[in-house]
Amino acid sequence: MTKSWFVTGAGRGLGRAIAEAALARGDRVTATSRRLEDVADLADRYGERVLPLGLDIRNRAEAAPALTAAQARFGRIAVVVNNAARSLIGAVEEVTEAEARDLIDTNLLGTLWVTQAALPILREQGGGHVVQISSGGGVISWPMNGVYQASKWGIEGMSEALAQESGHLGIKVTIVQAGHMESGFARPTASDQPQFDAYARPRALLSGVGARKGNDPKDLALDLLKVIDAENPPLRVLLGRPLADIRAVYEERLAVWERGVG
């Protein structure tokens, strides 16, 4: 059955791949980006099945009109994908206040504002699917990503609560813990704060991790379609992220908790 999607951050990377994968199979998509020109070309290719919108998710006042426009154009909104995000590389001590606020405003609060704007529509129509794009950094942490990962851990906690609040309303919630991608987003934004020599060692460790080959966003988008089409989609799903390193971290945590402090 044809679905109508609302995708944030659809100008590039995973968001663009999700929008194009949905359109390629005949679905309809409201594709949003902070800059309208980044998504306008989709309408040239897919015509009336695309509604390109400029949406700065940091501005709460823009979220509800964007969802309302999508509903007016396509009727039922089956899937809301909160994908828009930004990255930031820097030790916790190095990140400036302005950088931290902009990142949290984008990644965490922006996701919250779009989710809040979508929920009345999903409740009124009797259901829908909210997809929150997290990352491997929403499960385990690595150095030089502390503030970025704080935003993703926040999405994880908020979305797990949302799933418990809205399940009886027919609203499904899936948190996508996506792996590193070969996309524009994969080029991390470095903090404007000067780097401190004290963190040279963990910075080098991150460089080794970052050198790994990333996933193709198109592959992850196709995997996400399978999740969306599932009768009972999971609350959390790993896409392009190896389970082994996450399992090792969780096993260590469980061992420490079982051992206790005594």
What domains can you pick out in the chain, each with its CATH number?
Answer: 4-259 (3.40.50.720)
Q: Which CA distances in Å does 185 have to 10, 13, 206, 240? A: 12, 6, 16, 15
pLDDT the model gives residue 80: 98
Whether the per-residue pLDDT at 187 is higher than 70: the answer is no
Whether the per-residue pLDDT at 181 is higher than 80: the answer is no
Catalytic residue list contains 250? no
Separation CA 234–CA 219 (nearest Å): 19
Of the residues 33, 148, 159, 166, only one is catalytic, namely: 148
Catalytic residue list contains 213? no
pLDDT the model gives residue 209: 60
* pLDDT tens digits for range 147-171: 999 999 999 999 999 999 999 999 9
Name residue, tokens 């992220």. Answer: 241
Sorted by sequence, the CB contacts under 8 Å of residue 189 that are 6+ apart come out as 86, 87, 88, 89
Of the residues 4, 33, 87, 134, only one is catalytic, namely: 134
Q: Read off the pLDDT of each residue in 231-258 and give the average, rounded to a whole number.
A: 90
Q: Read off the pLDDT of each residue in 130-156 and give the average, rounded to a whole number.
A: 91
Catalytic residue list contains 152? yes
Of the residues 33, 135, 152, 166, only one is catalytic, namely: 152
